[in-house]
Structure 1
Amino acid sequence: MAQTPSPSDPQSTAAAPANQPSRVTTYDAAYFAQYAPRNALDIARRVPGFTLDLGSTQTDLGQVDVRGFAGTAGNDVFNGARPSSKAESLDDELARIPAQRIIRVEVGPGDLYGSDYSGKSQVLNVILSAASGIDGNVTAAGSRRYNGYVNTDISGSAIIRRGPSTFNLSAGTGRNKQLEEGTDTLTDVETGEQVEFRRKHNSYFNRDPYLSGSWALERGSDNAYRFNARWQPSRFDLHQDNRVSPADGPRHDDNLDQHFRNPVLEIGGDVTRPLAGGAIKLVGLATRRKRDNTETYLLRDGLIDDGAAVIGGFDQRIEARRNETIGRLSWTRSNLAGFSVELGAEAALNTLDSQVE
Structure 2
Amino acid sequence: MTWAPYGPYWRQARRIYLNEIFTPKRLDSFEYIRVEERQTFISQLNSLAGKPFFLKDHLSRFSLCSMTRMVLSNKYFGESTVRVEDLQYLVDQWFLLNGAFNIGDWIPWLSLLDLQGYVKQMKALKRSFDKFHNVVLDDHRAKKNAEKKDMVDVLLQMAQDPTLEVKLTDDCVKGLMQDLLTGGTDSLTAAVQWAFQELLRQPRVIDKAIQELDQVVGKERWVEERDCSQLLYIEAIIKETLRLHPLGTMLAPHCAIEDCNVAGYDIEKGTTVLVNVWTIGRDPKYWDRAEEFLPERFLEKDIDMDGHNFSFLPFGSGRRRCPGYSLGLKVIRATLANMLHGFIWKLPQGMNTESISVEEHYGLTTHPKFPAPVILEPRLSSHLYSPK
Bucket of the pairwise TM-score, normalised by the shorter protein: under 0.3
TM-score, L = length of structure 2? 0.22
Q: Determine which structure has more spread, i.e. the larger CA radius of gyration.
A: 1
Which structure: greater helix fraction? 2
TM-score using structure 1 length = 0.24
**Higher relative strand content:** 1
